[in-house]
Amino acid sequence: TYIDSIDVRSLAIKIGDYVQLFTQQGGLRPFGVGMLFGGLDQTGPSLQFVDPGGGVVSCKAKAMGEGDSEAIAFLKEKYTEELTTDEMVEIAKEAIKKASRDTELSDENIAIEIMPYKA
């Protein structure tokens, strides 16, 4: 129903199916973007990547952009299960800067929002 919440993976799959429908019917990728959906739901923490063709992959960490391989290597080096929220935010900002190699980014023009979890 419209009142029920949706878990992160199910949301990503629904979006992926929608994107894939356009890819299948027209042979094109009209959206042309990868999307990351992250959240904490009844199944626990979840990060889902929807590729431009509609495929969905579960990840612990993910980066997109010209410098994505550098950003992913950085995330692999820095990520641990014991990180605090503040530490995760700082690591995420640095990974965003690495993935956006040719774009001038700073802490002032990167916004990360932390939303409280409500069961």
For the residues of 16-68, what is the DSSP string, one character each?
HHHHHHHHHHHSS-SS---EEEEEEETTEEEEEEE-TTS-EEEESS---STTH
- Say what the pTM is: 0.76
| pLDDT tens sequence across 15-31 | 999 988 877 776 666 67
For the chain, the domains span 1-59, 61-119
* CB-CB contact of 81 with 92 (8 Å): no
* CB-CB contact of 52 with 33 (8 Å): yes
- Among 72, 73, 65, CA closest to 102: 65
| pLDDT tens sequence across 78-96 | 988 898 989 988 999 999 9
Residue 3 has pLDDT above 80, yes or no: no
Query: Measured between alpha carbons, how far is 53 from 105 in angstroms, rounded to an integer?
Result: 28
